[in-house]
Structure 1
Amino acid sequence: MKAFTAYTITAEHAGLSVETYLKQVLQLSGRKLQKLTRQKGIRLGNKPTFLTRPLKNGDILRILTLEDSGYGVEPESGALSILFEDEDVLVVDKPPYQLVHPAGRTTHGTVANHLAFEFSQRGILCTIRPLHRLDRDTSGCLLFAKNAQSQTRLETQLKERRLKRSYQALVETAPQPPAGTIDAAIGEHPSQPNRRAISPKGDAAVTHYQTRQNYASGALLELELETGRTHQIRVHLAHIGSPLLGDGMYGKRSPLLSRQALHAYSIRFFQPSSGEEICVEAPLPNDFLRAINALEKDSI
């Protein structure tokens, strides 16, 4: 009997076509996709489905279990900071100015390329499976599954909100009130395709925030995501009048650092095999620390 691995589609990936989900989220190569198609190994529920079909939140996509035959990306030597690793998962400290995986014209120099090289040096053949995304300029904890079964279980945790991602951010203006929840749907920007905007027709988005330190010209916040929309924290903070420091897209650029001041400082999840709760933290990068130091001096 053929074995299938089930993937529950989360709101984060709703709207993607089956083909896009397989290529971008599961990191399946075109060759593996062709093999699955020939073997009728792609099913929505228990029925074969078309690659062009859009996925909905809660859909169960069943994929014929194949042994990993490649990394899904080209291995490339490069710096890689591993914060935690076991037989099922790996957490990387992503530096700013680096993409998670190849996209658009960028085919090299991503975290995925460097992780594939790391595995190749160890003699491990493992498809690169990021569980979530971080913007190019956002630093911090990035979680990968090392096998299909772990990915399925971690995606279930993400859907059930048992996988927690916490961030630290510097904002231009201290929010009022100093702690709260931003519950505002996010959709596509009406005129700029690379941006997102608050929209009643968008996808539900919830961000919890708390002010940790006030400065004369800004504040340090701690945030936790309940959902994972594209640019969620950036859009939500701009929406309440506290845009991220250095965010030229939703606020304005800053002389204190050359990117938005957002860092994924911790991730909490349950080990896919044992169920043990794991919390991993990433230290603040140097440019973020320098910006904090400048804000503190300005407040004296």
Structure 2
Amino acid sequence: MRNWIGIVAVCVLVGILSGATGGLVVRFAPPMNSSRTSDSPEETAQDPLPESPTPYDETWAVESKSASDMQAARTALGDAPEPDRMAGLLDESSGWLPIEGEEARFEAVRDGWLVELRRLVVEHVQSFQNSALQAPDGAAALAMHARASRLLALYPISQEDAVLDEAQSLAAAQSELLRRIELIRRQRYNVWTVDQIAAAVEAYHSSNLSVEAMGRSDDGQVVEATVAHLAEIDPAMLEPAVLGLYNYVIDLVNADVSQSWRIEFARRLTGSEVSRKTLEGF
């Protein structure tokens, strides 16, 4: 009770002062538990802050290896290891330390592994590049190109001129291979187009003969027979010689049908419902 009387007296005094000065307002929070009549040191003392967690001090495991140990590790890979396995051995050996007295031999063995990895990468990259050029279609060729690119990333770079020149040569060959794959796909596309044009010309003449045999004109039959072979062709993919043949067939049909069917012919070759072939599959 005595505590509350003291608090009220202080509030009244502060109210008088704030009224006189026109500004200061002080707010007092009531005790959390009004039934408490005393504040003992045990009740008011704050719990100490928890200690900051100690960061986990992870140590890097290092193994000591002799030259014989290294030779055994290399022998385990076989006579002709894949480049990724050889690269894995080199990566693992970065955590090894030479035993005392074999430091020079240790470094010589690792240097030999680097040379071997470069040779393996070159052999496998060139093999995939050659396979890409012999692939039956563009999808298979691009898959070979991608595998060669992944292997090329394993090539160990150094500041030696010969190493840098070889790496640049491999990278340039990869870029040239991609361009060559694209050209081969377009060539296959044009060969397919020539076959389509030949079929369109044959269909045009067959439909004309059929119409003449019936003794009447049927422009729709001529257009439909030709469109069936031309609609899938994308003129933007054609080489000049093949594009000339494509235009020849169009002129052939247009010269033989009425104006309304010429318009219909153009619509059937260019409408949004037409699904033209792309380089996919070539």
TM (norm. structure 2) is 0.19
- Structure with the greater alpha carbon radius of gyration: 2
Q: Which has the higher helix share?
A: 2
Q: Which has the higher strand share?
A: 1
